[in-house]
């Protein structure tokens, strides 16, 4: 029985989950002339997803390929499926007659909520369960909390009924977005994996950057940035690409700490890299009710500056340690790489065309791109390998299996939002932080940054964004900060928890793969990723760094920001066409920071930027003259 569940039932459930999610994304019921609520599909998806968790993940210890499923887990899996089907069938009645069917809605909630909590514990650990438990407890005793955080307490039956059925709770926006958008992009990634697209992109990264000094690190930066944008989790990206890139950097001459830090920073940066941003772009578009293209345009320059800094510091490290390019025998000719897999660029061209020119929804664009991968792989093939029906079926099944973790997190986020809505916590927290901001905007930003880092510890990108945007962003918007800038601010600092001690789970994972000391790797990752700690404060002060404003303001911001990142990175790394002495490092770093400050950020900012230009020129001239005096 247990062997049947793990080997046969689990893949079938994964396939059902993915097909229902893709059917929801593709509006299949509408095209068939069937009237279905989205929440009915969500009931099936959540029930099946919970069942997969109970079959695949044991209550204690790690899951093995031949896991024996105990009777209680089989019961939980069956209960989850039955609850999902029941909710799907009864939802039209429960939604219309919510106040007249309190007993029935309570039963739905009292079944789903404990199952979600246990599935969350198994997949994400006790950290998220503790956070959820605190919020659920607050919903019951909110009226006893003193001060501005005092809220509306709910009775146990009312809270359970509301969280289990209401559109602002368990089956709300987070679960809708994850099932209708994120799952489709996971399917896109699975198709790339099985058709050779992932291998081709790695070869492309090697061809583009392998010939420069420190090429192994630059390959890791490009590859991890590309895959990190799709993966939705910095940790999973480190675990998947780091297996290849970290040994490559070690063989190239980078220290274990440097190799782990570069991989962690590059994978974390993928979560802010357009056009996908680890699915955060779609969530942000839905939350702010603005066009997806606006989000992508706003995120472009900060992501560019982030990777410019990482590239420069990898290059500085290579120059200081005299790390050579990748040996030619390990590289394939660029022409051969392009001939073998040029067609893999077509799905991404279709994705971008559908999103930006045809204004299609993200899920529709992802389905088109997925269909394009299937077509080009079948027509051209990669290294003699063409996609077949078995590959497509395996991709669908794997999509469902991989998606369950993020679906459970989406359900958790819905429960959090439900408690916040029904208790009025958002108003109290916003009022409290706004009071802080009225005395000092910088203090509010600093406090919000710390809160975002704490809330983001150990979570994937979608969960990070949903939590920090719900709790930490409203006070910033209340004080007149641009909504995109506010959400980007909390997203950045939520993601920085991936490399910031004491948790720094992405850096610690990379350190484990590199055989390095975890804390040293995390601290070095913070140094390499320093722009992410600075840029959010700057684009809050001046939205021109988010490409908002006149053409002249944007051009000036782009030029000075890139120059600022370049000079500051060189100063921090201690190298610019030769080793920098202490005075040179201080001059380069100070000039870079001054250049980063937007001219329109605050009164006197333009003078600081002008001083940065002068100091940068002086520091550069001094270094050139010093190099000329050195013997050849």
Report pLDDT digits (tens) over 212-259. Answer: 777 778 877 877 777 666 655 676 677 667 777 788 788 778 889 988
- Judged by DSSP in three states, 168 sits in coil
pLDDT, the chain, mean = 82
Pick from 458, 575, 436: which is nearest to 508 by CA? 458
Q: Region 520-531: what's the mean pLDDT? A: 86
- Residue with the larger pLDDT of the pair 355 and 568: 568
Range of 71-85, 256-270, 479-493 with top mean pLDDT: 71-85
Q: Does some domain include residue 539?
A: no
Position 329 scores a pLDDT of 67
Q: Using the predicted structure, report yes or no on whether residue 82 has a pLDDT greater than 90.
A: yes
**DSSP state letters, 310-330:** HHHHHHHHHHHHT-----GGG
Q: Region 574-597: what's the mean pLDDT? A: 85
Containing structural domain, residue 163: 2-174
Mark which of 174, 190, 210 sits at the end of a domain: 174
Quote the CA–CA distance of 238 and 263 in Å, as a whole number: 7
| pTM given for the model | 0.72
Range of 258-272, 282-296, 327-341, 440-454 with top mean pLDDT: 258-272
Burial readout 152-175 (b: 16 or more C-beta within 10 A, e: otherwise): ebbeeebbbbbbbbbeebbbbbbb
**DSSP state letters, 11-58:** HHHHHHHHHHHHHHHTTHHHHTT----HHHHHHHHHHHHHHHHHHHS-
Position 79 scores a pLDDT of 96
Quote the CA–CA distance of 464 and 470 in Å, as a whole number: 10
Mark which of 158, 174, 190 sits at the end of a domain: 174
Position 64 scores a pLDDT of 60
Cross-strand pairs, 627? none
Q: Does some domain include residue 581?
A: yes
Q: By mean pLDDT, which of 13-22, 64-73, 442-451 is the weakest?
A: 64-73
Position 51 scores a pLDDT of 94
Q: Does some domain include residue 349?
A: no
Q: Indicate the number of domains in the chain.
A: 2
Q: Does some domain include residue 533?
A: no
Q: Does some domain include residue 555?
A: yes
Q: Does some domain include residue 561?
A: yes
- Residue with the larger pLDDT of the pair 615 and 632: 615
289 DSSP 8-state letter:
T
Mark which of 153, 174, 195 sits at the end of a domain: 174
Position 80 scores a pLDDT of 96
Position 10 scores a pLDDT of 83
- Judged by DSSP in three states, 575 sits in strand
Q: Does some domain include residue 253?
A: no
Which residues, including other chains, have CB under 8 Å from residue 409's CB and lie 6 or more apart?
120, 123, 124, 128, 178, 459, 460, 462, 463
Provide the H-helix boundaries in 97-233: 102-124, 126-141, 156-165, 173-177, 183-195, 197-209, 215-231
Position 16 scores a pLDDT of 93
- Judged by DSSP in three states, 579 sits in strand
What is the Cα gyration radius of the chain? 25
In percent, the amount of the chain with pLDDT more than 90 equals 15
Q: Does some domain include residue 266?
A: no
Q: By mean pLDDT, which of 39-43, 49-53, 128-132 is the weakest?
A: 128-132
Pick from 395, 508, 544, 407: which is nearest to 463 by CA? 407
Which residues, including other chains, have CB under 8 Å from residue 291's CB and lie 6 or more apart?
285
pLDDT band at residue 291 using 50, 70 and 90 as cut-offs: confident
Q: Using the predicted structure, report yes or no on whether residue 468 has a pLDDT greater than 60.
A: yes
**Locus of tokens 């509301």:** 162
């Amino acid at each position: 029985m247990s062997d049947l569940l793990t080997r046969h039932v689990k893949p079938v459930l994964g396939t059902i989950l993915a097909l229902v999610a893709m059917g929801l994304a593709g509006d299949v019921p509408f095209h068939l002339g069937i009237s279905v609520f989205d929440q009915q599909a969500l009931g099936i998806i959540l029930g099946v997803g919970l069942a997969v968790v109970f079959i695949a993940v044991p209550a204690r210890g790690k899951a093995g390929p031949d896991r024996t499923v105990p009777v209680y887990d089989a019961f939980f899996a069956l209960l989850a499926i039955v609850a999902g089907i029941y909710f799907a069938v009864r939802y039209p009645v429960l939604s219309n007659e919510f106040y007249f069917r309190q007993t029935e809605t309570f039963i739905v909630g009292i079944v789903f909520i404990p199952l979600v909590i246990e599935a969350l514990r198994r997949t994400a650990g006790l950290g998220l369960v503790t956070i959820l438990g605190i919020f659920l407890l607050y919903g019951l005793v909110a009226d006893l909390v003193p001060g501005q955080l005092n809220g509306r307490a709910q009775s146990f039956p009312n809270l359970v009924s509301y969280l289990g059925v209401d559109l602002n709770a368990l089956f709300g926006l987070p679960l809708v977005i994850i099932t209708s958008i994120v799952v489709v992009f996971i399917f896109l990634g699975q198709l790339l994996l099985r058709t050779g697209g992932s291998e081709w992109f790695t070869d492309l990264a090697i061809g583009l950057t392998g010939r420069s000094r420190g090429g192994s690190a630059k390959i890791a930066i490009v590859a991890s940035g590309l895959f990190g944008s799709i993966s939705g989790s910095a940790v999973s990206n480190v675990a998947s690409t780091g297996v290849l890139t970290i040994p490559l950097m070690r063989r190239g001459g980078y220290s274990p700490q440097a190799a782990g830090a570069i991989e962690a920073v590059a994978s974390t940066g993928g979560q802010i890299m357009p056009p996908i941003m680890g699915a955060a772009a779609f969530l942000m578009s839905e939350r702010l009710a603005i066009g997806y293209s606006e989000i992508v345009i706003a995120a472009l320059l900060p992501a560019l500056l982030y990777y410019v800094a990482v590239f420069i510091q990898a290059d500085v490290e290579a120059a200081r340690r005299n790390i050579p390019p990748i040996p030619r025998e390990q590289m394939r000719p660029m022409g051969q790489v392009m001939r073998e897999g040029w067609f893999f660029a077509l799905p991404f061209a279709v994705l971008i065309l559908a999103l930006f020119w045809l204004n299609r929804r993200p899920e529709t664009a992802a389905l088109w791109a997925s269909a394009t991968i299937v077509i080009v792989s079948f027509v051209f093939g990669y290294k003699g390998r063409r996609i077949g029906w078995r590959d497509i079926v395996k991709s669908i099944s794997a999509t469902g299996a991989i998606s369950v973790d993020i679906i459970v997190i989406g359900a958790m986020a819905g429960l959090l939002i439900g408690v916040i809505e029904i208790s009025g916590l958002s108003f109290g927290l916003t009022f409290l932080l706004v009071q802080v901001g009225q005395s000092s905007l910088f203090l509010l930003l600093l406090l919000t940054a710390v809160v975002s880092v704490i809330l983001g510890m150990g979570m994937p990108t979608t969960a990070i964004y949903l939590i920090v945007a719900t709790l930490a962003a409203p006070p910033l918007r209340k004080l007149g900060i641009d909504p995109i800038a506010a959400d980007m601010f909390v997203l950045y600092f939520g993601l920085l928890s991936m490399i910031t001690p004491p948790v720094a789970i992405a850096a610690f994972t990379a350190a484990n793969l590199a055989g390095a000391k975890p804390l040293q790797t995390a601290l070095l990752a913070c140094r390499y990723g320093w722009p992410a700690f600075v840029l959010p404060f700057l684009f809050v002060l001046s939205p021109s760094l988010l490409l908002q404003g006149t053409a002249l303001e944007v051009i000036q911001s782009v030029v000075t920001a890139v120059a600022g990142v370049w000079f500051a990175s060189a100063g921090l790394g201690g190298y610019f066409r030769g080793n920098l002495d202490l005075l040179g490092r201080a001059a380069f770093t100070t000039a870079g920071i001054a250049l980063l400050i937007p001219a329109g950020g605050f009164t006197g900012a333009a003078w600081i930027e002008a001083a940065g230009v002068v100091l940068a020129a002086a520091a550069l001239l001094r270094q050139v003259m010093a190099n000329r005096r050195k013997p050849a």
